[in-house]
Amino acid sequence: MSSSSTSPVSNYIHGNAPEEQHRLSLLNDLLNEPLLRELKLNGGERILDVGSGLGQFSRAMARASGKSASVIGIERDQDQLSQARQLAEADAETELVEFRQGDALDLPLQNNEWQSFDITHTRFLLEHVQEPIRIVSQMKAATRPGGRVVLADDDHGGFQLWPEPLGFPTLWQAYIRAYQRLGNDPFVGRKLVSLLHCAGLTQVRNATVFFGGCAGNDAFDLVMGNLLGVFGGARQEMLDNKSLDQNSFDDAMEALVRWGDDPTTAMWYSLCYAEGFVPLG
């Protein structure tokens, strides 16, 4: 399987290799609880999770929303879907979420499912598509009047490491360029409010969810594992764009691993979060 899954308007840089699925799981361990706090579910919601990946957050929302919740996860990639189903089975949670194959740009909903969801959520998907407004518009159309559309995504402009590891700026720029080369948007996080507004959502609010850490913290190993995994998974795309060669890549990665063992290290980063309501009438 190649390291990226592509269509003309939706190019997923990270792919679905087992190491990448492991990284995605680490990321869920880090972010699901703080994101649920931001989401403030009332209980019993009907939820659509768009680009649900391995389904861990879809299931976390279902658990948090309680027995009368109903959650559907939409995922384009068959390997991600089958892994999501296996993980749910291993946790005896197959009843919690219906995982459905389909494209976020053309949601696979029945006629009676449009305008029916209390919450339509997506995380880490809009950065991987060329026209995120098309997905947000589909999400709005799936949500009932008075329901919420929730977007959570990266903005690679706000990433800071201190002390800065040798070769890191070049590595980071090559990663950003690899996104851009695929036609995707590494800076979509800052645009979430604008996307909601343009799609016709109201009462929009924004927030950030801390996604960093420092040496000595319990979660720092997870944060480091995610960072190294991100570069490892996108390595070929980063080399293809010719802004760094293989030796520079390997040297910068070694420096990053050493940096992770330094007791003074800190990583500053936040996930961008925005939500808006579908107008009532």
Ligand X SMILES: C[S@@+](CC[C@H](N)C(=O)[O-])C[C@H]1O[C@@H](n2cnc3c(N)ncnc32)[C@H](O)[C@@H]1O
d(CA 197, CA 242): 37
Name the segment binding ligand X (CB under 6 A); options: 53-61, 196-204, 212-220, 226-234. Answer: 53-61
Site membership for ligand X, residue 76 (CB under 6 A)? yes
d(CA 276, CA 143): 11
Site membership for ligand X, residue 104 (CB under 6 A)? yes
Q: Are strands 143-153 and 213-214 parallel, antiparallel or unpaired?
A: unpaired
Q: How far is the CB of 152 from ligand X (least distance, A)?
A: 8
Site membership for ligand X, residue 10 (CB under 6 A)? yes
Residue 120 class from Cβ within 10 Å (0-12 exposed, 13-18 middle, 19+ buried)? buried
- Collapsed DSSP state (helix, strand, coil) of residue 95: coil
210 phi/psi in degrees, rounded to 5: -60, 135
38 phi/psi in degrees, rounded to 5: -70, -35
**What are the beta bridge partners of residue 12?**
5
Looking at the Cβ atoms of 126 and 244, the one nearer to ligand X is 126
Among 80, 120, 143, 265, binds ligand X (CB under 6 A): 80
Name the segment binding ligand X (CB under 6 A); options: 64-72, 73-81, 207-215, 234-242. Answer: 73-81
Q: How far is the CB of 101 from ligand X (least distance, A)?
A: 9
Looking at the Cβ atoms of 12 and 273, the one nearer to ligand X is 12
- Any idea what DSSP says for residue 190? G
- Across 36-66, b (16+ Cβ under 10 Å) vs e yields beebebeeebbbbbbbbbbbbbbbbbbbbbe
Looking at the Cβ atoms of 45 and 49, the one nearer to ligand X is 49
Site membership for ligand X, residue 53 (CB under 6 A)? yes
Q: Which residue is nearest to ligand X (CB)?
A: 53
Q: Are 150 and 207 in contact (CB under 8 A)?
A: no
Looking at the Cβ atoms of 80 and 120, the one nearer to ligand X is 80
Site membership for ligand X, residue 3 (CB under 6 A)? no
Site for ligand X in 105-164 (CB under 6 A): 105, 123-125, 128-129
- Collapsed DSSP state (helix, strand, coil) of residue 261: coil
Looking at the Cβ atoms of 55 and 213, the one nearer to ligand X is 55
Per rule CB under 6 A, count of chain residues that contact ligand X: 24
Q: Are 51 and 16 in contact (CB under 8 A)?
A: no
Name the segment binding ligand X (CB under 6 A); options: 10-18, 39-47, 179-187, 258-266. Answer: 10-18
Which spans of this chain sit near ligand X (rule: CB under 6 A)?
Answer: 5, 10, 12, 14, 24, 28, 51-53, 56-57, 74-77, 80, 103-105, 123-125, 128-129
